A and B are shown apart, each in its own frame.
Chain A
Amino acid sequence: MHHHHLPLISNVPLLPSSLILCPPSPNSRSPRRRITLVRASMDGNGELPLVLLVRPLFPAFEDSLRQHFRFLLPWESTLPTHEFLSANARSIRALLCFGPSPVDGSTLSCLPGLQCVVATSAGVDHIDMDECRRRGILVTNAGDVFSDDAADYAVGLLIDVLRRISASDRFVRSGLWPIRGHYPLGFKLGGKRVGIIGLGSIGSRVAKRLEAFGCTILYHSRTTRPSLAYKYFSNVCDLAAESDVLIVTCALTRETHHLINKDVLLALGKDGVVINIGRGALIDEKELVRCLREGVIGGAGLDVFENEPNVPKELFAMDNVVLSHHRAIFTPESFSGLLQLVIDNLKAFFDGRPLLSPISA
């Protein structure tokens, strides 16, 4: 049997590789600088807990994560992946999945001892959730750590489309302003009816922001949110018919695939704007491009696409469209928040404590 060679750590209480140095907390009363020594949680052999990876760690996360966990790297083995997994199955209880690498049924079937999957994204459409539920495998996602940034980006995309920010920035940089004299008018945001699809952590933050601009919020969600005073629609078409803007912030599941389709776009209408920061497949992309080309809807702001990094080239010539390469959450705060959440979820799992951001069934 091929063993993945790991450095041996002897059974001594405090070990250099397990020391975590914490700076004194801001509220510390002690006038002298104190360093707190915290022992990382160990498994029964005095080693750091073992976590399976399906792709390499983000370089930025590697140092921190390796202070707390040991990692199993299947691609470094000469064995084919499924054989490697089966060979190590007994020691694998946790899997860290950097999105969007898939965790599919065949991978899961090689891991009979798997109890926890920690994902790094808000969306978990790349994980076989049915199989995880069936086997009682706990799955955690990114919780709220990205939500502010995602909401900011959605608002930025919307106002950009309405007020033609990116298009007129290009206009100025091309030197056309002195020649053409002015740029075509945009459209007012205040008073617009904004239909939010998916009123979760991100959607509710989008709503709060847009209310301050004088928008009226409507929504469709799997469940109603009675504590929020927004009008609920059980049907996306009906929502679109009463909206000037649709903002897609829901999860991609079998049910929500191509949720925004021809009927919805038609109902939204010729001045309507669609903003998508969810997943590309939430929208029938071919249909969206056709509707934009034919003026069935008024504009779109898209951070995600059905087949990234491929973007329908027809969109490149449209000034009523704003395009972005799937980076609604790329800020230092979101990334460090994510790193901390990943560490905290894994530690909670290995300590037998409740997970911080489990996905409920």
Chain B
Amino acid sequence: METLGVLFTFPRNSYLESELDRRCNLFRLWEAPPESRLDFIRSHANSIRAVVCNPIVGADADIIDALPKLEIISTCSVGVDKIDLDKCRQRGIRVTNTPDVLTDETADLAIVLAISVMRRIPEADWYVRCGSWKAIGDYKLTTKFSGKTVGILGLGRIGTAIAKRAEAFDCPIIYHSRSEKPNTTYKYYPNVLELAANCQVLIVSCSLTPETHHIVNREVMDALGPNGVLINIGRGLHVDESELIKALVEGRLGGAGIDVFEQAPHVPEELFGLENVVLLPHVGSNTVQTRKAMADLVLGNLEAHFTNKPLLTPVM
């Protein structure tokens, strides 16, 4: 694959980057200043046949149009919302993602976010580090997690893994999905509003599509209520962020654990002072082991394509 030109959109996986660099002719999009990115792409368009991208910088229509020789886009993520799939379909470009290898990690994160928000663990850690613990006898109570009803929005691979974990805490599980799943005992709700009204912890784990844009809106947050907790491990755009801030500040929503934001890495500063939130810098799949597994899957897909073998994890 040495003469194969690969465009890498964002530096988020140094193992992947060094492997691509070793095996291919690697073009790093971030080395070009933002205003001349398309020129940079066009100047190498003759050799670029693959794009490797991720949730931060994807492969939109402009990038795809600038690459007439593009054959395959491999995203280092399970979400493909940053890829213009219509364009790919029109041009017959293959698309692969990295499902399954990050399912456990992301499900683990959803649960620890719920416990962290409800039991206020980061707040306790902060309190102790500030030297505020001066006397025994502060009996401020936090919210119990075990036994609370967990509502899962999107019962796919990740949603199912979340449910399995929550069940070990004796949490009743309910869900909403595009379609009812035949092989589960969990109660299905036909819409997200009813789901929110009937659970205490609402976890967003569906894919981002035009239909799920801002699926968690003001109404849903009000239905979840002042004792409810919202956990978002999907995409920032799943939640109406400005409504989220208002709901939290006004006490209409009990708490939130958020790993993804609409304008990441920019997080609204109104959230910084709230004690009923936990804010994370998109760490959903951020472990040493999983990042390597995701990178290997990207490399495996590219290798398969360019040696005319079946793709490992095709989206299209």
Asked if residues B119 and A152 are in contact (CB atoms below 8 Å), the reply is yes
**A325 close to chain B: CB less than 8 A:** yes
Alpha-carbon separation in the docked complex, A175 to B266 (Å): 8
Q: Which residue of B lies closest to A171 (CB)?
A: B281
A172 CA to B274 CA, complexed, in Å: 13
Identity of the chain B residue whose Cβ is nearest the Cβ of A327 in the assembled complex: B124
Give which listed residue, B109, B115, B164, B288, contacts A155 with CB less than 8 A. B115
- Within 8 Å by CB of A325, from B133, B265, B278, lies B133
Is A148 in contact with B105, judged by CB distance below 8 angstroms?
no
- Residues of B close to A169: CB separation below 8 A: 116, 122, 278-280
Stretch among B39-47, B141-149, B196-204, B301-309 lining the A interface: B141-149
- Given pairs A100-B136, A175-B269, A335-B141, 6 additional interface contacts (CB within 8 A): A165-B121, A172-B280, A185-B287, A188-B105, A308-B136, A330-B142
Cβ–Cβ contact A159 & B144, under 8 A: no
Contact of A181 (CB < 8 Å), options: B111, B116, B265:
B265
B169 to A183, Cβ gap below 8 A? Answer: no
State which of A79-87, A135-143, A204-212 sits at the interface with chain B: A204-212
- Is B165 in contact with chain A by the CB < 8 A criterion? yes
27 A-B residue pairings within 8 Å (CB atoms) = A58-B139, A149-B146, A153-B119, A156-B145, A159-B115, A163-B108, A163-B109, A166-B121, A168-B283, A169-B278, A169-B279, A172-B267, A173-B272, A177-B264, A177-B265, A177-B267, A186-B287, A187-B288, A209-B169, A212-B168, A308-B136, A311-B128, A322-B125, A323-B128, A324-B124, A325-B133, A334-B144
**Mostly helix, strand, loop or mixed at chain A's interface?**
helix
Do A185 and B124 touch across chains, with their CB atoms under 8 A apart? no
Specify the chain B residue showing the minimal Cβ separation from A303: B124
Cross-interface CB contact of B281 among A156, A168, A188, A190, cutoff 8 Å? A168
A196-236 interface code vs B (CB 8 A; 1 in, 0 out) = 00000000000011011110000000000000000000000
How does the 8 Å CB contact mask read for B44-72 relative to A, with 1 for contact and 0 for none? 00000000000000000000000000000
| Contacting pair A214 B104 (CB below 8 A) | yes
Pairwise interchain contact A153-B279, C-beta atoms closer than 8 A: no
Among residues 284 to 339 in chain A, which have CB atoms less than 8 Å away from a CB atom of chain B? 308-309, 311, 313, 316, 322-327, 330-335
Q: Determine if A163 and B287 form an interchain contact, defined as CB atoms under 8 angstroms apart.
A: yes
Contact, CB under 8 Å: A190 / B272: no
Does A159 lie within 8 Å of B128, measured CB to CB?
Answer: no
B112 touches A160 (CB 8 A): yes
A182 in the interface (beta carbon within 8 A):
yes
**Are the CB atoms of B291 and A185 closer together than 8 Å?**
yes
Inter-chain CA distance A209–B166, complex, in Å, is 8
Asked if A164 CB lies within 8 Å of chain B CBs, one says: yes
Contact check, A212 vs B125: say whether CB atoms are below 8 A apart.
no
Q: CA A35 – CA B105 in complex, angstroms?
A: 52
Q: Is A170 at the interface (CB under 8 A from chain B)?
A: yes
Q: Check: A157 CB closer than 8 A to any chain B CB.
A: yes
Does A178 count as interface, using CB distance less than 8 angstroms? Answer: yes
B12 contacts partner chain A, Cβ-Cβ < 8 Å: yes
**A189 proximal to B (CB < 8 A):** yes
Question: What distance in Å separates the Cβ of A326 from its nearest Cβ neighbour in chain B?
Answer: 7
A322 to B127, CA, bound (A): 11
Q: Contact between A165 and B116 (Cβ–Cβ < 8 Å)?
A: yes
A165 vs chain B, min Cβ distance (A): 5
Bound state CA distance, A175 and B145, in angstroms? 29
Chain A residues, CB < 8 A from B142: 327, 330-331
In the complex, B212 has a CB within 8 A of chain A: no
Contact B141 A331 (CB under 8 A): yes
* B residues 123-177 in Cβ contact with A at 8 Å: 124-129, 131, 133-136, 138-147, 164-165, 167-170
Residue from A188, A212, A316 in contact with B167 in the complex, judged by beta carbons closer than 8 Å? A212
Chain B nearest CB: distance from A88 CB in Å?
27
Is B289 part of the contact surface with A, judged by Cβ < 8 Å? yes
Q: Which of B112, B139, B147, B272 contacts A156 (CB 8 A)?
A: B112
Closest A residue by C-beta to B282: A182
The distance in angstroms between the C-alpha atoms of A17 and B128, with both chains bound, is: 44
